[in-house]
Amino acid sequence: MAMLAARSLSGVVVDLRVFPFFADPERVARARYGVSALEAVVRLEEIGRRGLERLRAAVRRLRVPGPDESLDREVLGFYAAAVLAYLTGNRWLVSRLALAEAERGYAELQRMEDSVVAEVGRLAGIRSLVFDQRRAYMEAIAIVNMTPVYRVYPYSVSFLDYVRYGRRLLGDDAWKPAALPVKGGHVYLDKHRAARLVKEALTTYVEERIRVLGSEAAEKGAAEKLGALLEEARRLASEASRPRGRGGGGRVELPQGVVVEEAFPPCMRDIIERARRGEHLSHHERFAIATFLLNIGAEIDYVVDVFRSMPDFKEKITRYQVEHLAGLRGSGKKYRTYSCEKMKTLGLCKADCGTRSPVQAYYRNLRRLGGARRGGSGGEAGRGATARESSTG
């Protein structure tokens, strides 16, 4: 029987039932059943069904079940889910499964020993991540009864690895290097931040692992062999990633405004198309498209639906964030979208529109759309509306 855990050169043990994507499914299948991993999925209904359930849980709850006490059920269940997700050809489903696996790993890491957190990070690609209590960074934060109180940062990671793996987090001020101890080219972290950084690395690692396992299975004729299982996976992908609230080319009015996507400047068109394809967007890209849409009169529901196909979509959280940007929560401040200059600085600009902001470019494009009809209740956002208008309907 294959080992339940992987032992690193440093002697740290990582439980493969919790992190099955680090295991070799071929070794597990042959040790347990005497066949290849693909044949195990084809011949054993339980394994195929576990793969589908893993996918279904990823889609509906963004969290895979388990971990199971059985190594082979965990490893081969992940393998089946990975192969099925890949063979659907649905990039959103692949990303969603990867994120769900990372979410479960992240939850488990927070209960594990510090050395395991660092080791999982290294296995996922963050080679410079180290836990060393003896060399922890001590930050004085208060003095109580003449005794200094310190905040301890026992983890360190190279600045380059921090920026690379934390790139989606850096839009949050709390994650910017300036908000953390940086010394000798290394950023120091507490356990919470270290585990969160590892989650980002796991998401990338697992997504690539899915592609490798899926492509290898495809070369072995997996699509034909998996038959009904693959059809079920395709139905799940189709139902889960079908964008909502899109007019499909028809003219549909919003209750409080009309959004004319033909008038979008290239930068916003690029972001919204990638969001609907289910690609990962950075914090800045999400902020840019959400504030752009709000500032041209889109409803909250419409803006929320733009993010619906994204792998990490959670309606409650997304709605709260959009309402916050709209000034309906928190301080009541409605946020403006980035200027064209800021978009260029962030590398998000796709063309020189000759305007100061994407919103200005949008209204200029509306005026240029000749022969357009006015939207009945669209207000300013409906000026120059042409054949394609989208809403949440």
* pLDDT at site 83: 97
* pLDDT at site 371: 36
* pLDDT at site 380: 36
* pLDDT at site 8: 54
* pLDDT at site 19: 96
Q: Give, rounded to a whole angstrom, the gap between the first and last alpha carbons of the chain.
A: 55
d(CA 76, CA 83): 10
d(CA 155, CA 188): 6
Q: Which residues pair with 140 in a beta bridge?
A: 150
Do 288 and 323 contact (CB within 8 A), yes or no? no
Tokens 């690539």, located at residue: 208
Could you report the per-residue pLDDT of 116-130, keeping only the tens digit for each?
999 999 999 999 999
Give 26's contacts (C-beta < 8 A, 6+ positions apart).
36, 37
Q: Which residues pair with 148 in a beta bridge?
A: 143
H helix intervals, the chain: 25-33, 37-43, 45-61, 71-87, 91-109, 114-123, 159-165, 191-219, 222-241, 266-276, 283-295, 300-306, 315-325, 340-345, 358-368
What's this model's pTM, rounded to 2 decimal places?
Answer: 0.68
* pLDDT at site 240: 64
d(CA 321, CA 326): 9
d(CA 308, CA 319): 11
CA 174, chain centre distance (Å): 19
For the chain, how big is the Rg over CA atoms in Å? 24
* pLDDT at site 393: 33
CA 310, chain centre distance (Å): 7
Q: What residue segments make up the domains of the chain, in order of their start? A: 5-110+201-240, 114-195, 261-382
* Tens-binned pLDDT, residue by residue, of the chain (393 aa): 345 555 455 678 899 999 999 999 999 999 999 999 999 999 999 999 999 999 999 888 888 988 888 899 999 999 999 999 999 998 888 988 998 999 999 999 989 999 999 999 999 999 999 999 899 998 877 777 777 778 899 999 999 999 999 987 887 778 889 999 999 999 999 999 999 999 999 999 999 999 999 999 999 999 999 999 999 999 888 776 554 443 333 322 323 456 788 889 999 999 999 998 888 888 999 999 999 999 988 888 889 989 988 888 888 899 999 999 988 887 778 899 999 888 988 889 888 887 889 998 888 887 776 434 344 333 333 333 332 333 333
**Phi and psi, residue 93, nearest 5°:** -65, -40
* pLDDT at site 169: 81
* pLDDT at site 102: 93
* pLDDT at site 392: 36
